[in-house]
Amino acid sequence: MSPEMSQLMDPKLVVLTAPRSVAAEQYRALRTNLEFMSVSGALARIMVTSGTPGTGKSLTASNLAIALAQAGKNTLLVDADLRRPMVHHLFGNANLSGLTTALTRPDEWEKYVQRGPVGGLSVLTSGPIPPNPSELLSSPIMMDLLGQFSRNYDIVIIDTSPVVSFTDAVALSQGVDGVILVVRAGHTSRKGDLKGKERLTQVHARFLGVVLNDIAMQDGAYSYY
Ligand SMILES: Nc1ncnc2c1ncn2[C@@H]1O[C@H](COP(=O)(O)OP(=O)(O)O)[C@@H](O)[C@H]1O
Ligand SMILES: [Mg+2]
């Protein structure tokens, strides 16, 4: 990682910024679990969502993507949260084009993919925020793009908006191989978490597991820093 890059990146990308921290170790453990799960069936496209907002989806998706790339997987991180896109902020990338641009020019999608901060990691930021996110994300073109992504990468991690507020992630779940639900300790309402899970279960999304984020704030056992 060059000094310029570390300046632009969010320090909470701990897998890169604090690789020896307990938090970084947890992301690597998540990666290992996914590797085990993929033994019993292809897990190329993995969506990260939550019931309610602000649980740490973007941080989880980004740290996981870094950990996967470090393990030698050719990884694509896609920001499909067209409500509150964060990936470009976290990585310090430009966001003049991205997923929404790729949706309007699907034949040229590869042009909008940017290089990530570690070898093997590519990033597709959200691109300009459109007026009709759910329409775009549930379109046949989006489903087709997801297919293209998985043909070009070993693994695709997709950051999304929360399930309870918008239909975006529910629609997207139809084009992925598995869903990770992020729950934030002492922050999200249990009701919202359950509601989110319920909505995804209704459409037969494949659940991979729940990530409990930020237990640090509860018991002080560890933090990201
Ligand atoms: N474990 C954590 N420790 C410290 N701050 C966190 C943690 N998880 C999330 N945050 C902070 O909470 C906010 C929301 O996180 P983010 O990953 O953007 O959530 P989401 O994508 O679910 O909206 C951000 O400011 C992020 O830095
Ligand atoms: Mg987010």
pLDDT tens sequence across 62-106? 999 999 999 999 999 999 999 999 999 999 999 999 999 999 999
Q: Is 166 near ligand 1, meaning CB less than 6 Å away?
A: no
Distance of CA 162 from the midpoint of ligand 2 (Å): 8
In whole angstroms, what is the distance from residue 96 CA to residue 110 CA?
15
pLDDT at 215: 74
CATH class of the domain comprising 3-215? alpha beta
Q: How many residues does the chain have?
A: 225
Is residue 185 within 8 Å of 215, Cβ to Cβ? yes
pLDDT in tens, 143-184: 999 999 999 999 999 999 999 889 999 999 999 999 999 998
Those residues whose beta carbon sits under 5 angstroms from the ion ligand 2 are: 57-58, 81, 86
Distance of CA 74 from the midpoint of ligand 2 (Å): 22
> Which ligand gives the minimal distance to the CA of 213?
1
Q: Is 13 near ligand 1, meaning CB less than 6 Å away?
A: no
Specify the amino acid at residue 82.
Answer: L
pTM: 0.93
Distance of CA 138 from the midpoint of ligand 1 (Å): 26
Average pLDDT over residues 24-31: 96
Instruction: Give alpha helix (H) positions in 54-178.
Output: 57-70, 87-91, 99-104, 133-137, 140-152, 168-172
In whole angstroms, what is the distance from residue 44 CA to residue 62 CA?
16
Distance of CA 57 from the midpoint of ligand 2 (Å): 5
Q: Is 178 near ligand 1, meaning CB less than 6 Å away?
A: no
Average pLDDT over residues 182-205: 86
Nearest atom within ligand 1 for CA of residue 86: 18
Taking residue 216's Cβ as centre, other Cβ atoms within 10 Å add up to 15
